[in-house]
């Protein structure tokens, strides 16, 4: 193969120039390589998909810095993939372990009454949650009960961050509306 044919076979310069078909060709050609490298350090399918997506984004962002004189295209891609996999592994190791918080016990004279009030509030909250749309309910529970940030929820569910925020906001607004006393309940 002569030099012009070799250069024509390279995908990274084409990606750097913004050729749309080069992106799909890159995924087709190097997808198996990227997936195999990502699988070596992670077996969780959701996380694996996120890592592979991050790898291809990094490839597209760095395509312009590829120099065929320094190494092959597959070596360049494998290096990016390896770095992303290591970064993801380190990030996972640094994540704080979540431990359940023990419920505080109620003591004192009014302990029984506070427990009743808490039970009524919890029952009312459950009723309101049941009336929300399923996606709003599950996202609110992930945020409030599990204590996840909106970004963590987006990462776990593969739902765009803006959609997460909208569902939670609308769900909380609906819950507030349902919790407001109706005109019949308010007695002068």
CATH of the domain at 152: 1.10.10.10
Q: How confident is the model at residue 1 (pLDDT cuts 50, 70, 90)?
A: very low
Both 20 and 65 in one domain: the answer is yes
* Residue of higher predicted confidence among 74 and 128: 74
> Averaged over 85-95, what is the pLDDT?
79
Check whether residue 143 and residue 68 sit in a common domain: no
Q: Which residue has the higher pLDDT, 63 or 100?
A: 63
Residue 72 has pLDDT above 90, yes or no: yes
| Of residues 124 and 96, more confidently modeled | 124
Res 182: pLDDT: 62
Residue 20 pLDDT > 60, yes or no? yes
Residues 129 and 82 in one domain: no
Does residue 94 carry a pLDDT above 90? Answer: no
Would you say 38 and 45 are in contact if contact means Cβ atoms under 8 Å apart? no
What pLDDT sits at residue 104?
45
The alpha carbon dihedral of 177, 182, 183, 186 has a sign of: negative
Task: Please give the mean pLDDT across all residues of the chain.
Answer: 80
Across residues 73-86, what is the average pLDDT? 92
Q: Which residue has the higher pLDDT, 149 or 45?
A: 149
Same domain, 69 and 144: no
Q: Tell me 182's DSSP state.
A: P
User: Which pTM was predicted?
Assistant: 0.47
Report which of residues 153 and 42 the model is more confident about: 153
Kindly state whether residue 55 falls inside one of the protein's structural domains.
Answer: yes
Q: Is the pLDDT of residue 27 over 70?
A: yes
What pLDDT does residue 109 have? 47
- Does a structural domain hold residue 23? yes
Residues 81 and 142 in one domain: no
* Secondary structure (3-state) at 81: helix
Q: In this structure, is residue 108 part of a structural domain?
A: no
Domain of residue 35, residue span? 7-93
Phi and psi angles of residue 180, each rounded to the nearest 5 degrees, phi first: -65, 135
Structure tokens at 110: 């009014």
Largest alpha-carbon pair distance within the chain? Answer: 92
Count: domains in the chain:
2
Residues 80 and 133 in one domain: no
| Domain assignment of residue 104, yes or no | no
Tell me what percent of the chain is helix, strand and coil, each rounded to the nearest 5.
70, 0, 30
- Given a cut of 80, is residue 7 above it in pLDDT? no
Nearest CA-CA partner of 77 in 142, 30, 143, 137: 30
Residue 29 lies in a domain: yes
pLDDT for res 4: 41
d(CA 77, CA 132): 45
User: Span 161-165, mean pLDDT?
Assistant: 89
């Amino acid at each position: 193969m002569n030099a012009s044919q070799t250069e024509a076979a390279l995908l990274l310069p084409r990606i750097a120039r913004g050729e749309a078909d080069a992106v799909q060709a890159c995924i087709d050609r190097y997808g198996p390589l990227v997936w195999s490298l990502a699988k070596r350090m992670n077996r969780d399918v959701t996380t694996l998909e996120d890592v592979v997506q991050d790898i291809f984004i990094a490839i597209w962002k760095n395509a312009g810095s590829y120099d065929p004189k320094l190494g092959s295209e597959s070596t360049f891609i494998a290096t990016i993939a390896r770095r992303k996999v290591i970064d993801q592994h380190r990030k996972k190791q640094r994540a704080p372990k979540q431990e359940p918080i023990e419920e505080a016990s109620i003591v004192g004279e009014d302990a029984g009454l506070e427990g009743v009030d808490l039970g009524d509030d919890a029952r009312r909250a459950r009723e309101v949650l049941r009336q929300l749309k399923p996606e709003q309910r599950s996202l609110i529970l992930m945020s409030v009960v599990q204590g996840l940030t909106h970004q963590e929820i987006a990462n776990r569910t593969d739902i765009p961050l803006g959609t997460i925020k909208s569902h939670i906001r609308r769900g909380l607004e609906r819950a507030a509306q349902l919790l407001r006393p109706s005109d019949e309940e308010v007695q002068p």
